[in-house]
Amino acid sequence: MNTESIKILRSKIAIPLSEAIRLLKKNKGDILLSEQDFHDENIRQICEKTDCKAAAARKEYQICNGDVIKTIERINQKPVVITTGNNPVSKIGFILWPENAEGEFYKTEKRNDVFIQTEDFDIVLKEFQAVFPMKNPWNNQMENEFDVLGHNYFDKETCRQIIEEINKVQTRDENEENFLGELKNWLNDKLNYADYIVVYGNL
């Protein structure tokens, strides 16, 4: 490693002198490897902060011209989609999000809502329908059936019942199995802090 190598590396990527020296030492003076290592480290950091896969993180990182903060913000504001991947992509379906006891959406660094298109939600529709009739917590009216065209509010206890029923769903389709696992993981994660899960049909 020499002064010229440090200058070249810093002309390629905007980093402090100490960081340039660290990368070059780590990569035995190889400028190209040091540059690649820098970007790989950034991708790993992005993946850790966003729960994003490396390929998707790299794509967003390139769109944001290598800006880690902008990349993280961009990924965290993207809607999360849970899908089997077995059906044509559609914007018609159900949006799920957590609310507190006052009916307020949680403001978090990462988006905490999820979209499931109708064809995939059909796999678990019966499990959500089974808990009706049920009282709406905001107007105390009894609701006799799941509303595919509007809002449905499920408290924690009811959500636990739904998860138990989803656990009984059997399929030989690997994609459907993965879908069910992702949905249960999402629900369990949100129930760590949410008082209600809202399911809204956007038909």
Grade residue 11 by pLDDT with cuts at 50, 70 and 90. Answer: very high
Residue matched to tokens 């006891």: 101
- Global pTM value: 0.74
DSSP string, 105-154: BP--SS---EEEEHHHHHHHHHHHHTT-SEE-TTT--EE-S--TTSEEEE
Q: Among 101, 114, 110, which residue's Cα sits nearest to residue 153?
A: 101
For residue 2, pLDDT beyond 90:
no
Decide: 114 and 95 in contact? Cβ < 8 Å: yes
Q: Which amino acid is at 115?
A: F
From the CB of residue 139, how many other CB atoms can be counted at a distance below 10 Å?
7
For residue 108, pLDDT beyond 80:
no
Task: Spell out the domains of the chain, with CATH numbers in brackets.
Answer: 3-76 (no CATH), 80-201 (3.40.1760)
How much is the pLDDT for 79? 81
Q: Pick the residue with more confidence: 137 or 165?
A: 165
Query: Tens digit of pLDDT for each residue in 16-31?
Result: 999 999 999 999 999 9
How much is the pLDDT for 1? 61
